[in-house]
Every structure is written in C-alpha cells, then in structure tokens.
Amino acid sequence: MPELRLLDSSPALPERPAITDAEAAAMARAVPNLFKRWGVTDGQACVLLGGLSPRTWARWKSDGAGRLPRDLKARLSNLMGIHKALRLIFREPERGYAWVAKPNAAFGGCSALEVMLDGELTDLMRVRRYLDAERGAW
C-alpha cells in the first residue's frame, strides 16, 4: 500500500492563512455595531455566533470577546465579508444594512438574515457567496 503524504501548495491548493487573534479581536469589536445596524436582536446574535449563550454575548458586548475558537473566527470572517460585499454593492450604506432583512428571491423569498439564522456556518457562507457572485468577484 502506498504511503500517504501531504501535498505541497499549488495554485489549486493554496496556503490558507489563519485568522490571527488580533484580526479576530478587531472583528469581534465590530460585530456588535454591525448587528445593531442590521437590526439583529441579542437572541439572533447568539445564533449567528454559533450558539453563544446570552450571558457570554452580554459579556462580549461589555468587556470584549476574549480568545475565540476557530469556528467563531470563521463566523466573524464571513459576517465581515457580507458587510464588505454590501458596502461595495450599495452606494448608500443604509440600503446595504436594510438589505439583510428584506425578502430575496435568491433565497426562496427569505431574507439573508433568515438564511443565516438557520445557525450553521455554511448558512453564513451561502449568503457571502451569493453577494460575492452578485458583485462579480468570480
């Protein structure tokens, strides 16, 4: 039986940079303000952040997030990617903030927020991929 080995980086398998703790901390500081702009409730915020307890979310908002696990860093990255895409798509920031809660045919009539509130990381990724495609990132 052949021996297994790791493949070297290539254009088809690029190195994936890890989200640093400093980057994650910056995103964690931005998320409460973003959620406020999107009209996200505390309960919804807990779902979007992967099932955070209400107590942890309250502490996060007042004292900072502390050390974040990889899944939470990925969630923050996708949320910031969604925010960035909306800022690029809409000239008026308020239209982008409002878009998140509006029904969308691309999501079967559900809003992007409703899709993201299914709670899985892949739900956030789905919205981000849609917006990236809409803005022509491919």
Q: Is residue 28 part of a domain?
A: yes
pLDDT at 71 over 90: yes
Q: Is residue 84 part of a domain?
A: yes
Are 50 and 69 within 8 A, CB to CB? no
Higher pLDDT, 17 or 19: 19
Residue 27 has, within 13 A of its CA and on its CB side, a CA count of 22
pLDDT the model gives residue 138: 47
How many folded domains does the chain comprise? 1
pLDDT the model gives residue 11: 65
pLDDT at 137 over 60: no
Q: Is residue 2 part of a domain?
A: no
Q: Is residue 127 part of a domain?
A: yes
Q: Is residue 46 part of a domain?
A: yes
Q: How many helices (H) and strands (E) does the chain have?
A: 7, 0
Mean pLDDT of 46-70: 92
pLDDT the model gives residue 135: 84
Query: Which range marks the domain in which residue 84 is found?
Result: 21-134
pLDDT band at 14 (very low <50, low <70, confident <90, very high): low
Q: Is residue 74 part of a domain?
A: yes
